[in-house]
Amino acid sequence: MLGLMQSQPLSISSLIEFAARHHGEGEIVSRRVEGDLHRYTYKDAAQRARQLAEALDALGVQPGERVASIAWNGYRHLEMYFGVSGSGRVLHTINPRMHPEQIAWVMSHAQDQVVCFDMTFLPIVKAIHGKCPSVRHWVALCDADKLPPDSGIPNLLSYEVLLAAQTGNYRWPEFDENTASSMCYTSGTTGNPKAALYSHRSTVLHAYAAALPDVMGISARDSILPVVPMFHVNAWGIPYSAALTGAKLVFPGPGMDGKSIYDLIELEQVSYAAGVPTIWQMLLGHMEPNGLRFSSLKRTVIGGSACPPAMITAFNDHYGVEVLHAWGMTEMSPLGTVCTLKSKHLAMSEEGKMKVRLKQGRAIFGIDMKIVNAEGKELPWDGKTYGDLLVKGPWVLREYFQGVGDTHAVMPLVNGWFPTGDVATIDADGYMQITDRSKDVIKSGGEWISSIDIENIAVAHPAIAMAACIGMAHPKWDERPIVAVVKKPGAEVSREDLLKFYEGKAAKWQIPDDVVFLDTMPMGATGKMQKSKLRELLKDYQLPDLR
């Protein structure tokens, strides 16, 4: 027997309409490429999203066709989130930090019909527009008077001119909630990037879950700064959850350096911010020497790569900001776990709480997870046994978009579970801790060494800004760890002192065999350390006892 409740499909357009109706005066503030601060409301955003949908009709873009963005976090990008997806087209958010050739490749793979871009990225568009035959319209996210007269890009349109030509009397279409809404290509550390294709259903369910108190805890009283880019897994779904709750949104635009982020937090009284550890490192690096404090920031979600304990301590103890360590991936929309404490943890010592906070956290409702061994046998939740982490749930990828020619890409699931490629432990309370990417695991004398543990100890040293631990081939031990580090500006530490710093913090056999000092760390397009590049850089390196 079926239930007798209404079966209204879940839709992205309903999020912005809800925000406009119930939080119409709610603010959206954006630092623009133009250099100024732009302010408007959810009511304005909804109206302009409808105008964009109408403009796409006028351009002849069909339902299901892809409309790409190459843009910073800002209000026009937000309008694309709702206008493109809400009208039944698919928003393809492109990471501008990819190599231009790779951008052209993903555009062709996705068969993008329209590309909207911030003027910052004009050089990229100039370099690739001749290599993207599927693209019918290039749209600059700017006013008509900012369009360059001699761009060489045929029929370059101004976004503002397009919107101004519409009536604004648009009605959102209704369609199946499983309709595709947006897509994001993974960073593609090996081979070509692969795309996760999200649906209205997966996006709205994820937005609900993300807003829950023990997840991101987003409310109408928050002023949220998503520093995580809107081109990286939909800025962790924050734009959708903000509309669902009516929270104020503050967008940093191109200003991602420590000073710009700090100034924006203070100016807009941001209560809540989200980003990868690299961003927070830059923020703390600006605040510490200048003796600055936060007047409004209460919580920050840190994820995308492991959050070092030193960062959690700095935020919690020094600045009074609660850190929510979160884990997820492009293929998971992205949220999988968030580390919020249970009531049983509250009575613990600070040291005990810290041990919990360092974990990537517990699964949020909607995500099922388990760890398995090489034979696929499920492993115990004892907080010690490592295994491959598998997940499933309504916002976890089933298959990649058009992964033809690569069987893994077409159907990645293992008996219905998605293999994350992460290696983790899960404790009896359900707290998961990532120890490595499966390809980064270091095996020494038959025992595993967690590269994350080794990196965390290095960055706890006052002179170290960044650390990456990799395994080097060794004839006796199979592999031995070394740690590559970047020092903080003006700080000094010797190889011997850093190795000494490990004593008592890691087992003797886990202490790296060597330290390599780097001027800069190789970073990937999503702000994570790129160990593949580091290995390439150190291909002629010899371990001390093999020299």
Cite the active site residues: 186, 331, 443, 448
- Cα–Cα distance measured from residue 162 to residue 76, given in angstroms and rounded to the nearest whole number: 13
Residue 303 lies near ligand AMP (rule: CB under 6 A): yes
Residue 334 lies near ligand AMP (rule: CB under 6 A): yes
- Cα–Cα distance measured from residue 219 to residue 231, given in angstroms and rounded to the nearest whole number: 23
Tell which one of 329, 432, 449, 458 touches ligand AMP (CB under 6 A). 329
Beta carbons of 418 and 330 less than 8 angstroms apart: no
Tell which one of 116, 434, 459, 464 touches ligand AMP (CB under 6 A). 434
Instruction: Give which of 257, 307, 309, 308 is closest to 287, Cα–Cα.
Output: 257
- DSSP letter (8 states) at residue 11: -
By beta-carbon proximity to ligand AMP, the closer residue of 55 and 434 is: 434
| Number of DSSP helices (H) and strands (E) in the chain, helices first | 18, 25
As given in the structure block, the two tokens for residue 282 are 């830059």
- Cα–Cα distance measured from residue 140 to residue 162, given in angstroms and rounded to the nearest whole number: 10
Residue 186 lies near ligand AMP (rule: CB under 6 A): yes
By beta-carbon proximity to ligand AMP, the closer residue of 156 and 283 is: 283
Query: Amino acid letter at 172?
Result: W
Residue 327 lies near ligand AMP (rule: CB under 6 A): yes
> C-beta of 422: minimal distance to ligand AMP in Å?
5
> C-beta of 438: minimal distance to ligand AMP in Å?
9
By beta-carbon proximity to ligand AMP, the closer residue of 200 and 359 is: 359
Cα-Cα end-to-end distance for the chain: 74
Residue spans of beta strands (DSSP E) within 393-535: 418-426, 431-437, 442-444, 447-449, 464-474, 478-487, 514-518
Task: Choose the binding region for ligand AMP from 38-46, 48-56, 90-98, 319-327 (rule: CB under 6 A).
Answer: 319-327
- Applying the rule CB under 6 A, the residues between 65 and 124 that interact with ligand AMP are none
Residue 330 lies near ligand AMP (rule: CB under 6 A): yes
> C-beta of 527: minimal distance to ligand AMP in Å?
9
Cα dist from 205 to 134, 155, 408, 480, 522, whole Å: 32, 39, 27, 44, 36
Residue 187 lies near ligand AMP (rule: CB under 6 A): yes
> C-beta of 182: minimal distance to ligand AMP in Å?
15
Tell which one of 30, 202, 420, 510 touches ligand AMP (CB under 6 A). 420
- DSSP letter (8 states) at residue 384: S
Tell which one of 274, 526, 527, 529 touches ligand AMP (CB under 6 A). 526
> C-beta of 390: minimal distance to ligand AMP in Å?
12
Tell which one of 96, 304, 308, 366 touches ligand AMP (CB under 6 A). 304
- Write the interaction track for ligand AMP spanning residues 354-393; mark x where CB under 6 A is met and - where it is not: ------x---------------------------------
Helix locations, 407-494, DSSP H = 407-410, 451-460
By beta-carbon proximity to ligand AMP, the closer residue of 305 and 425 is: 305
Cα dist from 27 to 1, 149, 168, 329, whole Å: 45, 34, 21, 29
Q: Write down the residue that tokens 């404490």 correspond to.
A: 341
Binding residues for ligand AMP (CB under 6 A): 186-187, 233, 303-306, 325-327, 329-330, 334, 360, 420-422, 434, 437, 526
